[in-house]
Structure 1
Amino acid sequence: MLESLLALGGLVLLRDSVEWEGRSLLKALVKKSALWGEQVHVLGCEVSEEEFREGFDSSINSRLVYHDLFRDPLSWSKPGKALPGGPLEALRALDKRTGSGPATIALDSLSWLLHHLPCPTLCQTLHALSRQDSCPGDTPPGEQVRVLGLLHEELHGPGPLGALSSLAQTEVTLSGTMGQASAHILYRRPRQRPTHQVDPTTHLTFNLHLSKKEREAKDSLTLPFQFSSEKQQALLRPGLGQATSHIFYEPDAYDDLDQEDPDDDLDV
């Protein structure tokens, strides 16, 4: 199961609860990534570094790069030292430290980060961190970045849960019955970017373009609201004794003029 969870890049969301904890699964995935020879960065927020490293042998621990937010999350004790700028800058710095080659970033936990950062800011940073702006074909398999995020779903409402769920390429929900743990795994297909532009006018049943003859006919057309030369001369150069006001009426081609007297049947 571990190999299938690590097969894809992007965000792997591990959703646990009070009854079914997910840190053990997170550590198992971290161990597997280290055994594959990948760069492994751990952002520790909820437990100490000693507690997180417990259970790993020296060969695994030597491959982990641990970024400690547990002891001094806001750099109050030693300003400007370990992780200046707080949780947000620590997250952004991880993207620069992964460098080239495949890398795994473990966030322990996303719940802690959600309580210290606005949800939109965290989602935007995770989106950039997991390099989801690029298509699967744009990023070589040897340079994919995988983000493992532990989320305590009972601590959050539907809004943050839905936002993080929409970012995840793989989602694991831990549950169980009768003391037997189980994991529900949801895989999402990577979003594909179109490789070529499609002309929306290709299959239309009518023509959007004018021929040369049609364009000439359009340019020579006199619109109903345009003044004729006679009307312009009369308005610009009124003759002597001509009334200052005059009504000009030019029948339209579609006017229905009845030459007969409409009241000829009336005895008036």
Structure 2
Amino acid sequence: MLLELLHGSDSGGFVLIRDSVHYSGRHLLKSFINAALHREEHVHVLLFEVGEQELIYGFKEIQRLHIHNAYEDPLGWTSTTDLTTQHFCLNYLTKILNETSQQKASILVIDSLSWILRHVSTTTICSTLHQLKKGGAVKTIMGLLHADMHQKGTVGSVCHLATSLITVAPGKAGDNCTAMITKRTKSGKVLQEEHALKINEDLTITVLKKSSNAEPAVHEELQTDPTANLTFNLRLSDKEREAKEKLLLPFMFSNDKKNAFLHTGTGSGQILYEPDANDDYDQEDPDDDLDV
């Protein structure tokens, strides 16, 4: 799945790279930008955490790279940049995306969402990302998120929006790293793969090992007996099951009782009524007993 995302064959949606202090995901993000530039796609980068020179280092093609630099003044204190954290809204982002004369929808890269999350409400950011995903000006959104800088609820809200979540961690040797990819398909199915990879100096990626988070582990989990450690028994022995089947419940009729209710005799029933003194009834004066 990682190579499909990298080559743009599975475009669309929101690709989120989640890193931590143990391993930076910016190298992987630059690999995605480099691959998009090689495909001759227009890439817009909202730059908050690093300078422009550091971002473009290693890129051989930058003709279609559009950098919106907020690194020098991300909060707008000196008014030296046109982009600040407060500009992260649908109208402004759509405007800067449409300023370039490209025929196809662009790729929007956010480096990084953590800077914006520290100064803009999570609700506003999630709403803007959701609207951008639905809009026609953006083909794919890519973002970098430092998970250990935010509360779990904030990280979970942003990750829930991602159609593809890539969690990076340090590898076992050298410059290698591991990447856990979680992909949500349009049908609602969730796929997972784990890659051991190496990011080369030319920003290409070499996959060293790939493993699918697969059905054996899920199957083993489903086969676990939930009644194994209970202090009481939920199962019946053969004798107990036989006694249960023979037991007659109060609302059940035995065969003898059924036959007694359903038996039809040869004779016929007759109702006898003997009126007493108080039953003097005059058909001509029905209200005679009312003494009126």
Give the TM-score range, shorter chain: 0.5 to 0.7
* Change over 3 Å in CA distance of 1:4–1:74 after alignment to 2: closer
Alignment of 1:170 onto 2:173: no
Amino acid at match of 1:167: L
CA-to-aligned-CA distance 1:215-266 (integer Å, 9 cap, x gap): xxxxxxxxxxxxxxxxxxxxxxxxxxxxxxxxxxxxxxxxxxxxx99x99xx
* Change over 3 Å in CA distance of 1:98–1:78 after alignment to 2: closer
Give 1:171 shift.
Answer: 0.4
**Residue 18 of structure 2 contacts residue 144 of structure 2 at CA under 8 Å; is this kept in 1?**
yes
Aligned partners of 1:144, 1:2: CA distance in 2, in Å? 21
The runs of 5 or more residues in structure 2 that have no matched partner are 189-274, 280-292
Alignment of 1:102 onto 2:105: yes
**Residue 74 of structure 1 contacts residue 87 of structure 1 at CA under 8 Å; is this kept in 2?**
yes
Root-mean-square deviation over aligned CA pairs: 2.6
* Change over 3 Å in CA distance of 1:144–1:69 after alignment to 2: closer
Q: Find the counterpart in structure 1 of residue 214 from structure 2.
A: none
TM-score when normalising by structure 1: 0.61
* Change over 3 Å in CA distance of 1:90–1:160 after alignment to 2: closer
Q: Could you tell me which of 177, 185, 188 is aligned with 2:184?
A: 188
Alignment of 1:55 onto 2:58: yes
Alignment of 1:31 onto 2:34: yes
**Residue 109 of structure 1 contacts residue 150 of structure 1 at CA under 8 Å; is this kept in 2?**
yes
SS at match of 2:134: coil
TM-score when normalising by structure 2: 0.56
Give 1:103 shift.
Answer: 1.4
Larger deviation, residues 115-124 vs 90-99: 90-99
Aligned partners of 2:55, 2:118: CA distance in 1, in Å? 21
SS at match of 1:112: helix
The runs of 5 or more residues in structure 1 that have no matched partner are 133-138, 193-259
Q: Find the counterpart in structure 2 of residue 245 from structure 1.
A: none
* Change over 3 Å in CA distance of 1:64–1:177 after alignment to 2: closer
* Relative contact order higher in (CA < 8 Å, ≥ 6 apart): 1
SS at match of 1:55: coil
Give 1:177 shift.
Answer: 4.2
Give 1:147 shift.
Answer: 0.7
Amino acid at match of 1:88: Q
**Residue 132 of structure 2 contacts residue 138 of structure 2 at CA under 8 Å; is this kept in 1?**
no
Matches within 5 A, 1:47-86: 47-57=50-60, 60-78=61-79, 82-83=82-83, 86=84
Q: Find the counterpart in structure 2 of residue 150 from structure 1.
A: 144
Q: Find the counterpart in structure 2 of residue 41 from structure 1.
A: 44
Aligned partners of 1:62, 1:94: CA distance in 2, in Å? 20
Q: Indicate the percent of aligned positions where both proteins have the same amino acid.
A: 36
Aligned partners of 1:2, 1:63: CA distance in 2, in Å? 22
Matches within 5 A, 1:115-154: 115-131=118-134, 145-154=139-148
Aligned partners of 1:82, 1:28: CA distance in 2, in Å? 27
* Change over 3 Å in CA distance of 1:48–1:181 after alignment to 2: same
* Change over 3 Å in CA distance of 1:76–1:176 after alignment to 2: closer
Give 1:182 shift.
Answer: 1.0
Aligned partners of 2:74, 2:59: CA distance in 1, in Å? 24
Give 1:36 shift.
Answer: 1.2
**Residue 2 of structure 1 contacts residue 32 of structure 1 at CA under 8 Å; is this kept in 2?**
no
Aligned partners of 2:126, 2:39: CA distance in 1, in Å? 28
SS at match of 2:163: strand
Aligned partners of 1:71, 1:162: CA distance in 2, in Å? 29
Q: Find the counterpart in structure 2 of residue 252 from structure 1.
A: none
**Residue 11 of structure 2 contacts residue 139 of structure 2 at CA under 8 Å; is this kept in 1?**
no
Amino acid at match of 1:173: T
